[in-house]
Amino acid sequence: MATKTNQPAGGGLTSAGYLVPFITVTALFFIFGFITNLNMALVPHLKAIFTLPYAWAMLAESAFFLAYFVFSSPTSKLIETIGYKRTMVVSLFIQVVGCLLFIPAAKLVSFPLFLTAVFIVGAGVTALQTSANPYVSILGPESSSSIRLNLAQALNSLGGTLAPIVAGAYILTDPAKLASPASVADTVRMPYMLIAGGLLLLGLAVAFMHLPHVEQTQAFRPAKEGDPILSRSIWGYKHTVLGAIGIFFYVGVEVGLASIAVNYFKLEGISTAETASYLVSLYWLGALVGRLLGAGIMTKVKAGKLLGIFGFTAAVLITISMFTTGHIAIATLVLCGFFNSVMFPNIFTLGIAGLGPMTSKGSGLIMTAVVGGAVIPPLIGVLADKMGIHQSFIIPIICYLFIAYYGLWGSKPSRTITA
């Protein structure tokens, strides 16, 4: 039987009795932040091992984000069938399977098998994100949902910040030191075996943990089978559709800037790849700091307004970087990491606001848009090849300006669940 609790009158961080579930699910955000950036860190390694052109090496990144496009909508249906908690457990077990596939991929030195492993891990992360994000959002008053998701996303950023460090220490061995391409097995197999074991234990722990069904308000109660609400199209909710576009641009610009940053920093005078990689870590660290501060700021500033301010500021920063060189160009790009911080949680919570029983459908649509991480980085790369990296920043500027528009104007619902 579903657990039902009373919502606090004062609009606290969580509803009564939901603090422990909030902490538990928030820990899962560390997992998909870590795994997402760990897979991104594999790109230069795979390029060297398989002597691939840059476009082919980027397929590893595209395979991961393509999983969002393929599995987000099916995951929303899975949530309606088995609930949020069981979907989270299933997502962790899918990631276990994907991590274990890295073992034969490394043993056989097979790039297609590597792509398959990355895609399956991406499928698991997709299911985890699609279930965990709305679950955190509805563990308390809707007025504080953005604050909860910002705190959870801070753990995501922490995992993302640590992933490049782990990759550098245990996976990204200098290819010149490898006796043969087959030596990649020694650098990839053991880390992913350990990750698979950790995910398996975490999945079992969550399976036996008490994570209640959230029914504190009528708006979040699952609609009964045959309810006409469930037959509605999510495309009729403009703020949700625009939110999906916002997520498409956000993920694309965040991943795109991180992917091209090392080359950009070296172009601007950074002498070694190691130093450039350290600066990329600062980019991700900025997102962590921003999310921690953002949770506090949003107790005083509305989520949409803050999103608009951060979007415009990021657009200004990347414009400055585009038209300058040296330390200023580097610093302004790194600072974009800080202003990226509140974008995902704020766009997501604004996009699912007021959807009630259709929340899982809205979440599925928005998470499908994470495929922007597979589309926008190659577009930036194409412009960089043809015109130069500085000129390619016109794409991030457009992305940030749309995000600012969404926060200030596009996120206002034009339709409610009752209309």
DSSP 306-346: HHHHHHHHHHHHHHHHHT--HHHHHHHHHHHHHHHTTHHHH
> Average pLDDT, stretch 187-214?
83
CA distance to 54, 173, 181, 308, per residue, from 177 (Å): 21, 7, 11, 48
Distance CA 71, CA 58 (A): 20
CA nearest to 250, candidates 142, 406, 119, 382:
406
Burial 345-367, CB ≥16 within 10 A → b, else e: bbbbbbbbbbbbbbbbbbbbbbb
Give tens-digit pLDDT for 236-270: 899 999 999 999 999 999 988 988 887 899 899 88
CA atoms 317, 320, 325, 326: torsion sign: negative
* CA pair distance 331, 364, nearest whole angstrom: 36
Burial label, 193 (beta-carbon count in 10 A; 0-12, 13-18, 19+): middle
Strand, coil or helix: 246: helix
Residue of 304, 328, 303, 306 whose CA lies nearest to 317:
328
Whether the per-residue pLDDT at 283 is higher than 50: the answer is yes
| R_g of the chain, CA atoms, integer Å | 21
Cα–Cα distance, 290 to 281 (Å, whole number): 14
Distance of CA 286 to the CA centre of its chain: 15
- The closest alpha carbon to 3, from 18, 24, 20, belongs to 18
Give per-residue pLDDT as tens, 342-365: 898 899 989 988 887 778 788 888
More confident residue, 25 or 347: 347
Sign of the Cα pseudo-torsion (299, 337, 351, 27, in order) = negative
Q: Where are the alpha helices (DSSP H) in 109-183?
A: 111-137, 145-170
Cα separation values, 343 from 219, 247, 250, 261, 338, Å: 25, 8, 7, 20, 10
What pTM value is reported for the model?
Answer: 0.75
Report yes or no: 187 and 42 within 8 Å, Cβ to Cβ.
no
C-alpha to C-alpha distance for 358 and 365, rounded to whole angstroms: 11
Please give the average per-residue pLDDT across 29-46, as a whole number: 76
Chain center to CA of 394: 23
C-alpha 18 chain-centroid distance: 24
- Residue 1: predicted pLDDT: 33
Torsion of the alpha carbons at 125, 130, 135 and 138, rounded to the nearest 10: 150
Most distant CA atoms of the chain, gap in Å: 66
- 358/317: higher pLDDT: 317
**CA 209, CA 222: separation in Å to the nearest integer?**
21
What pLDDT, on the 0 to 100 scale, is given for residue 10? 43
Q: What is the pLDDT of residue 390?
A: 95
Residue 108 pLDDT > 80: yes
| Token duo for residue 377 | 């980085």
Is residue 242 a contact partner of residue 406, using CB atoms and an 8 Å limit? yes
Assigned CATH for 19-210+227-410: 1.20.1250.20
CA–CA distance, 138 with 415 (Å, rounded to integer): 20
Per-residue pLDDT tens for 127-162?
988 888 778 877 777 667 777 877 887 888 888 888
Rounded Cα gap, residues 21 and 80, in angstroms: 19
Q: Position of tokens 């300058």? A: 324
